[in-house]
Amino acid sequence: MSYLVKLQSSLPDVNKIIKGIRSDVSNVVQADEFEYTDPVDSSISKHQGIRYLFEDGSRLVFRLSGTGSEGDTIRVYIEQYEKDSSKIGRDPQEALSPLVEVALKLSKMQEYTGRSAPTVIT
């Protein structure tokens, strides 16, 4: 079973799972496997990853990147909307730490990959 299929199996219970990890993170209002529509030729690329959209505008996206069946990269995108201008400009590691914790535990990244830290943070 692929990593994304395992991750997708948690979609129905995602808010219950997240509240068990951190109670201060907003509820998920949509969780899905997303597809990409090319703006030039309108072609559709299905099965692009798992996306969690939160009430407060934050989102988590998990994608596999690579062409082989072994050694693929798991890309995790963590975005948070901040309406409080006094909090803008904070260290991203600090500002995103609640969502990072949720992403890592929700995805069971360490369990599935054996890695305890990312190889690249951008």
Output the pLDDT for position 69: 55
Query: How many domains does the chain contain in total?
Result: 1
Residues 29, 54 contacting (CB under 8 angstroms): yes
Residue 36 within any structural domain of the chain? yes
Residue 65 within any structural domain of the chain? yes
Residue 46 within any structural domain of the chain? yes
Residue 121 within any structural domain of the chain? no
Residue 118 within any structural domain of the chain? no
- Model confidence at 73, pLDDT cuts 50, 70, 90, reads confident
- pLDDT tens digits, one per residue of 82-102: 888 888 889 988 999 999 988
Residues 107, 21 contacting (CB under 8 angstroms): no
Q: Whole-angstrom Cα distance, residue 88 to residue 71?
A: 36
Q: Which residue has the tokens 């109670």?
A: 23
Residue 119 within any structural domain of the chain? no
Residue numbers of the domain that contains 107: 3-113
Residue 34 within any structural domain of the chain? yes
Output the pLDDT for position 48: 84
Residue predicted with more confidence, 96 or 68: 96
List the one residue out of 80, 29, 32, 77 whose CA is nearest residue 58.
Answer: 80
Q: What is the CATH number of the domain that holds 39?
A: 3.30.310.50
pTM of the model: 0.76
